[in-house]
Structure 1
Amino acid sequence: MRNMSDDHTHVQEFFAARAAGWDTRFPDDGPAYAAAVAELGLREGDRVLDAGCGTGRALPPLRAAVGLSGVVVGVDLTPAMLEAAVRAGRNHDGQLLLADVTRLPLRTESLNAVFGAGLIAHLPHPAANLRELARVVRPGGTLALFHPIGRAALAARQGRRITPDDLRAEAGLGPLLAGSGWDMTSYIDEDARFLALAVRQG
């Protein structure tokens, strides 16, 4: 069994090494992020978390969705990613917290929604970690698990094949979410994007 601190160290090292050039590697993802955020159905004044926010690319559309009266929080485990978010000025769109999404420093049922881009593949214990995301969202609130390209395109980019145990496969993701406090309401996996939406169980 892997040690959780080993998982965290691996994730931090992976992203710290890539933080400085992250946005320049994927310069055209902005519209895909904005479209995914629109699917959350946020309203003026809502409170939303960007879990594993990285360089904060989702923060501007999240802020636009909830308005000045809303609350946007970006949480990430890697200091270098948050530093890149600040350099890009995205700290003006949301509060950035150096924290672990598996143990969030947020009150129970304090949020309306969670946005997670590229998140699920980096969760050390997906069922427990998705339950922690459910803890901070009110019943009926929403979760978006997003990636700016689909599973097949991502696998091809990384020089690998999709395996049956891929966490993002529809057949596995639905039950995983259901056992973690979420009901999956839609699933899209196409070359241009991956987007699974879920509602917090009552």
Structure 2
Amino acid sequence: MSDDHTRVQEFFTARAADWDSRFPDDGPAYAAAVADLGLRRGDRVLDAGCGTGRALTPLRAAVGPAGVVVGADLTPAMLRAAAQAGRDRDGLLLLADVSALPLRSASFDAVFAAGLIAHLPRPADNLRELARVVRPGGVLALFHPIGRAALAARQGRRITPDDLRAEPNLRALLTGSGWHMTSYADRDDRFLALAVKEG
């Protein structure tokens, strides 16, 4: 495992037990973002970097019992927290690195990724790997329950021009990784960029 992966795992392992209690009001924001994915009954969706699985329940509701929901995360403690919260009933929990997913190419209709982009060691390669597992025309949602400015304020930092999530930076990054950005919202109460897999 690379140093980048180890750092990410250590960061989230230390926070897994109380993650949900630290952000108890995020549920509606997750549900709204999932709704914007436009999933249909029977679709197959990957929650990449699923953490404690807060998106799994609205994802399951969107695709119904015939759909497939997979939550993949690098941190065992996060997956344990998801299972303890009962979210493993809504989707298969998979210990996996998003830079090398043990999933078939073009096997999903959509990818949901909450808070993932800031933790990707090689964003272009990692987004290309997410594109690999999605069918052409499939959708990617890069989500955070608060916008960039609000998140920076919470973390005691400033937004810099090289922020990956700034619209021009993210658009270029997605375009170079097999995606076409179709919408972008960055408000205090939500960050959501949607993209469609090209090809």
Instruction: Give 3-state SS (helix, strand or coil) of 2:156's partner.
Output: coil
Which residue is 2:138 aligned to?
Answer: 141
TM-score normalised according to structure 1 size: 0.98
Which residue is 1:116 aligned to?
Answer: 113
Note the C-alpha offset of 1:34. 0.2
Query: How is 1:54-93 mapped onto 2 (pairs within 5 angstroms)?
Result: 54-93=51-90
Between the aligned partners of 2:168 and 2:50, the Cα distance in structure 1 is: 26
Write the deviation string for residues 29-50 of structure 1: whole angstroms up to 9, x where unpaired: 0000000000000000000000
Q: Percent identity?
A: 81
Write the deviation string for residues 16-37 of structure 1: whole angstroms up to 9, x where unpaired: 0000000000000000000000
Is 1:159 the counterpart of 2:140? The answer is no
Note the C-alpha offset of 1:85. 0.2
Between the aligned partners of 1:83 and 1:96, the Cα distance in structure 2 is: 9
Which segments of structure 1 move beyond 3 Å, counting only runs of 4 or more? none
Is 1:9 the counterpart of 2:6? The answer is yes
Between the aligned partners of 1:112 and 1:122, the Cα distance in structure 2 is: 23
Note the C-alpha offset of 1:175. 0.8
- Residue 94 of structure 2 is aligned with which of 91, 97, 108? 97
Between the aligned partners of 2:94 and 2:106, the Cα distance in structure 1 is: 18
Q: Which runs of 5 or more structure 1 residues have no equivalent in the other structure?
A: none
Which residue is 2:48 aligned to?
Answer: 51
Give the aligned length: 199
Is 1:182 the counterpart of 2:170? The answer is no
Instruction: Give 3-state SS (helix, strand or coil) of 1:180's partner.
Output: coil
RMSD over equivalenced CA pairs, Å: 0.5
Write the deviation string for residues 60-118 of structure 1: whole angstroms up to 9, x where unpaired: 00000000000000000000000000000000000000010110010000000000000
Is 1:170 the counterpart of 2:163? The answer is no
Is 1:130 the counterpart of 2:127? The answer is yes
Which residue is 1:34 aligned to?
Answer: 31
Is 1:21 the counterpart of 2:2? The answer is no
Instruction: Give 3-state SS (helix, strand or coil) of 2:183's partner.
Output: strand
Between the aligned partners of 1:100 and 1:149, the Cα distance in structure 2 is: 25
Between the aligned partners of 1:197 and 1:51, the Cα distance in structure 2 is: 14
Q: Which runs of 5 or more structure 2 residues have no equivalent in the other structure?
A: none
Write the deviation string for residues 166-202 of structure 1: whole angstroms up to 9, x where unpaired: 0000010001000100000000000000000000001
Between the aligned partners of 2:102 and 2:45, the Cα distance in structure 1 is: 14
